[in-house]
Amino acid sequence: MSELFPPKRLEALSRLSAFVPKSGRDYAAGRNYDLPDQGHPHVSQLSPYLRHRLLTEEEVCEAVLGRYSLSTAEKFIQEVCWRTYWKGWLEMRPSVWADYANFVSGLEHDPKIISAEAGETEIEAFNAWALELVETGYLHNHARMWFASIWIFTLGLPWQAGADFFMRHLLDGDPASNTLSWRWVAGLQTPGKHYIARSSNISKYTEGRHNPEWRLNTQAEPLSGPPHPERRPLRPSGEVQAGLRTGLLLHEDDLAPGFLLDAVTDPTVGAAALLSPDRRSPGPVSEKVSHFVTQATEDAMTRWQDRLGPRGPVTASAEQIVDWARAEGLEQVVAPYAPVGPAASSLRSLRKQLDGAGITLVEICRDWDIAAWPHATHGFFRFKKAIPDLVSNLARKAA
Ligand SMILES: Cc1cc2nc3c(=O)[nH]c(=O)nc-3n(C[C@H](O)[C@H](O)[C@H](O)COP(=O)(O)OP(=O)(O)OC[C@H]3O[C@@H](n4cnc5c(N)ncnc54)[C@H](O)[C@@H]3O)c2cc1C
């Protein structure tokens, strides 16, 4: 059976080039239609690749702006930048993720949650999206919004449990985009503003495929919660020390290691990878997600084989990475910066163990994130004013 999302950069690149012609006005006009039977023709379906940076935001913007002006492709570029914005916002408020993760680890067996996840509610549209998510590892943005709204306001289930269901099944499951989007639907992210799914809207944008009519609760009030936590300063990018025996470490948040190699001037001793898809949730993460992440990591290791040097372990175990670093006599391990989420917590425990062995872990942040994240202090409206500069810098660099 052919895979819907082959975990390879070549696949990501060919999807990108096929989508570029549709990324201008066509995208703005068609992006809200949820049409799985037609293969979601109006959206890019690049999210599993962007999430793991088999393809970067920078590359996507560059390809699109090579074809259209920023004003023609504004909507698509903005959507790509939503991802960057959410990452920056959460990076400055990591306790939002920690609170969510705590809540999820205390979740108890609840038959209502189990039947919602199994697509066994009375709402046929909701059931269809639950099954599509489990079967494909993907859902259209509008379907995610409707699904989350029905989960919270019609079924009355905790938003965190729904977000966890997404994290366990979405190939693009992302701590920032997922948690903050669920909070946005619930009315917690923009306090007092929630998203209510309506039958007429579902019917229009599914071209009549679904029409849940009276079953939806359209009168619900937004959820309320504590105010947003104080912002913490962004963690700075690390600095590679010249002259040290260096190994590279990949992880699921960034599988395009070219920028790391540019940061390391001395020859490196080899590369390993730390896998953490199973840390997305205390519950069982789908095999599709584990397969995608593992194979995408393999793809990165293979593509860069010549420059990464001899291959170390590709493993979920920090101990094995430490053993490898010791056996190679490493003095420093250089990795892409891991933003708040499972990879960052894997790196945190690895850092302690490496420290114990006298080896430094250096996380390098990409220029794109360094330039964009400081603008994620407030809402997207303010952030989006920085987009023209962000993408014009990009064009200057490419030239
Ligand atoms: C409840 C809920 C949960 C979500 N969970 C995730 C998640 O775990 N991971 C994730 O990547 N996105 C998430 N999103 C955002 C969005 O739904 C997906 O990024 C998008 O549907 C991916 O499909 P695409 O690649 O075809 O998008 P396109 O419309 O083709 O957009 C191109 C790219 O822009 C980015 N993007 C588009 N819309 C958004 C958005 N609203 N927020 C952030 N980035 C966006 C994605 O990287 C996407 O690949 C969630 C949205 C909601 C409402």
Pocket lining for ligand 1, CB < 6 angstroms: 31, 43-47, 50-51, 79-80, 82-83, 86, 140-141, 144-145, 148, 166, 170, 172-174, 177-178, 181-182, 185
Cα 235 to chain centroid distance, Å, stands at: 19
Nearest Cα residue to 374 out of 364, 385, 363: 385
Distance 234 CA to ligand 1 centre (A): 23
> Alpha-carbon distance 279 to 265, whole Å?
33
Longest Cα pair distance anywhere in the chain, in angstroms? 68
Are 277 and 300 in contact by the 8 Å Cβ rule? The answer is no
Read off the pTM. 0.97
The pLDDT of residue 398 is 52
> Alpha-carbon distance 48 to 137, whole Å?
9
| 365 token code pair | 């942040």
- CA dihedral for 26, 29, 32, 38, sign (positive or negative): negative
Domains assigned to the chain: 1-92+231-235+367-399 (1.25.40), 116-229 (1.10.579.10), 246-364 (3.40.50.620)
In eight-state DSSP terms, residue 79 is H
Q: Which residue owns the Cα nearest ligand 1 atom 38?
A: 79
The pLDDT of residue 395 is 61
Distance 361 CA to ligand 1 centre (A): 31
Q: Which residue owns the Cα nearest ligand 1 atom 24?
A: 45
The pLDDT of residue 399 is 46
> Alpha-carbon distance 256 to 317, whole Å?
21
Alpha helices in 255-361 (DSSP H): 258-263, 287-303, 305-308, 318-327, 342-356
Pocket test for ligand 1, best of 22, 38, 83, 165 (most atoms within 8 A of CB): 83
Distance 47 CA to ligand 1 centre (A): 6
Environment class of 291 (CB within 10 Å of its CB; exposed 0-12, middle 13-18, buried 19+): middle
Distance 243 CA to ligand 1 centre (A): 41
> Alpha-carbon distance 199 to 146, whole Å?
10
Tell me the mean pLDDT per 10 residues along the chain, length 399: 89 98 98 97 98 96 96 98 98 98 95 98 96 98 98 98 98 98 97 95 97 88 96 97 95 95 87 94 96 97 92 96 97 97 97 98 97 97 96 68
Q: Which residues contact 246 (CB under 8 A, 6 or more apart)?
A: 240, 264, 266, 268, 269, 330, 331, 332, 333, 334
The CA-atom distances, in angstroms, between 326 and each of 28, 29, 335 are 52, 55, 17
> Alpha-carbon distance 153 to 130, whole Å?
16
Q: Which residue owns the Cα nearest ligand 1 atom 22?
A: 47
DSSP for 216-247 reads S--SPPPP--PPPPPPPPPPPPP-PPTTS-EE
Distance 77 CA to ligand 1 centre (A): 12
The pLDDT of residue 49 is 98
Left if phi > 0, otherwise alpha if psi is -120 to 50, otherwise beta: which for 341?
A: left
The pLDDT of residue 396 is 59
| 305 token code pair | 């084989």
The pLDDT of residue 212 is 83
Distance 320 CA to ligand 1 centre (A): 34
